Amino acid sequence: MIYILDGKSSQLASSYKTFSSDNKGIFRIGAIDCDEQAKICEKEKVSTFPTVRVYPPFPIPTNDIDVSGKFDSKSLRAKAG
């Protein structure tokens, strides 16, 4: 699972960090700031922020989870797991 952010979504960073801490060992979690890593975001075709992308085991395709309304860690864990 990876969080893809931009400068405008940085207010959600503390929620993501809490989720990461609470789920350590369950998910591999990373974060990318598209303002700083534009090439990665272009390659991954990310166009909305924030984006939460789940990378399940190959060959299952990636899954983007909408967190634009409110970051709900219980809902996110259910969708990602």
Residue 56's alpha-carbon distances to 3, 10, 47, 64, 80, in angstroms, are 14, 25, 21, 11, 9
- In the chain, pLDDT over 70 holds for what percent of residues? 81
Residues 6+ apart with CB under 8 A from 17: none
The answer to whether residues 3 and 32 touch, using CB atoms and an 8 Å cutoff, is yes
Q: Tokens representing 30? A: 């990373």
Q: What percent of the chain has pLDDT over 90?
A: 4
Residues 53-77, mean pLDDT to the nearest whole number: 77
Non-local (6+) Cβ contacts of 55 within 8 A are: 1, 2, 62
* CATH architecture observed for domain 2-80: 3-Layer(aba) Sandwich (3.40)
pLDDT, tens digit, 9 for 90 and up, residues 10-40 = 677 777 788 888 888 887 777 788 888 889 8
Ordered by start, the domain boundaries in the chain are 2-80
pTM of the model: 0.64
